[in-house]
């Protein structure tokens, strides 16, 4: 396998990607005997687009996946587009042209691929136009992320920025209100008006946002915590916050 090629595991991840970007597919491996109603749509699309399909035994599939749960299908694909801060203007302008209110999710220091995958899924469901992450000390798109995201890696751009603070200031100059989540915030999520172009910033579990990120935010909010735990998983917290923004927009 060429160094830049990627492996995609799982029925939902492979099916979503081949529907949206069949030109990226090089070949697909399917588990021998797994030609059922869930697998056949992938096989049929592969044949339609001229993608080679090989049927192989479970051990070979397990070896290729490196222990990941593959659900009987693995695809070798060309790498997808890498987004950077230079793309933020375009993404924002495209959203405006489609009549959408700009809406970004920013993850500061989230390194767990399962959390990134879940956040991508949340973002897709909430109508977020892009997730912004720092280039260093952050999770990247991997086979695990794709599987957890259930297709959202193909619909929500992941923008990797060299300097997160600078990227947030760039959004502010473009009219985007930057709201950070922090336990020490004076107001809860439900006390704040969350309308208009917005970027929601979530920090890493335990550490939260870095100091410069926190200082760059226009506003800080917190989730009201009634129990003994001090914080929620970042993907759970992001889902709650994103859909409170969605709720307010729907009722504005």
Q: What are the domain boundaries of the chain?
A: 6-77, 85-250
Q: Is the dihedral of CA 196, 146, 78, 30 positive or negative?
A: negative
Round the CA-based radius of gyration of the chain to a whole number and report it: 20
Q: Report the DSSP beta bridge partners of residue 7.
A: 76
**Residue 27's Cα: distance from chain center in Å?**
25
Cβ atoms of residues 195 and 249 within 8 Å: yes
**pLDDT tens digit string along 149-207?**
988 988 999 999 999 999 999 999 999 999 999 988 899 999 999 999 999 999 987 78
Burial class (CB in 10 A: 0-12, 13-18, 19+), 236: middle
Considering the four listed CATH numbers 3.40.390.10, 3.40.50.1860, 3.40.1280.10, 1.10.357.10, the one that applies to the domain covering 85-250 is: 3.40.1280.10
pLDDT at 47: 94
Interatomic CA distance for residues 244 and 190, integer angstroms:
8
Q: What's the pTM value of the predicted model, to 2 decimals?
A: 0.88
- 6-77 with 85-250: one CATH topology? no
Across the chain, where does the E strand assignment appear? 6-9, 25-31, 52-56, 73-77, 103-108, 130-134, 158-161, 177-181, 187-188, 198-203, 219-222
pLDDT, residue 75, reads 94
pLDDT in tens, 90-112: 999 999 899 999 999 999 999 99
Fold of 6-77: 60s Ribosomal Protein L30; Chain: A; (3.30.1330)
């Amino acid at each position: 396998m060429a160094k830049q090629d990627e492996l995609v595991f799982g029925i939902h991840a492979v099916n979503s990607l081949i529907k949206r970007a069949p030109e990226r597919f090089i070949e697909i491996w399917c588990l021998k005997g797994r030609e059922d109603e869930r697998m056949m749509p992938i096989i049929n699309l592969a044949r339609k687009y001229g993608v080679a399909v090989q049927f192989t035994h479970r051990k070979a599939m397990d070896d290729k996946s490196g222990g990941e749960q593959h659900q009987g299908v693995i695809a070798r694909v060309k790498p997808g587009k890498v987004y950077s801060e230079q793309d933020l203007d375009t993404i924002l302008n495209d959203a405006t042209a489609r009549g959408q209110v700009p809406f970004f999710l920013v993850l500061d220091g989230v390194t767990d691929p399962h959390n990134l995958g879940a956040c991508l899924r949340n973002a897709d469901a909430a109508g977020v136009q892009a997730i912004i992450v720092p280039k260093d000390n952050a999770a990247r798109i991997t086979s695990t992320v794709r599987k957890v995201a259930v297709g959202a890696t193909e619909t929500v751009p992941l923008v990797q920025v060299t300097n997160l603070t600078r990227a947030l200031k760039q959004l502010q100059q473009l009219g985007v209100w930057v709201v950070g989540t922090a336990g020490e915030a004076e107001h809860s999520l439900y006390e704040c008006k969350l309308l208009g172009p917005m970027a929601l910033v979530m920090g890493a579990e335990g550490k939260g946002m870095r100091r410069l990120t926190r200082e760059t935010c226009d506003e800080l909010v917190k989730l009201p915590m009634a129990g003994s735990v001090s914080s929620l998983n970042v993907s759970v917290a992001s889902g709650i916050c994103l859909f409170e923004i969605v709720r307010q927009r729907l009722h504005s």
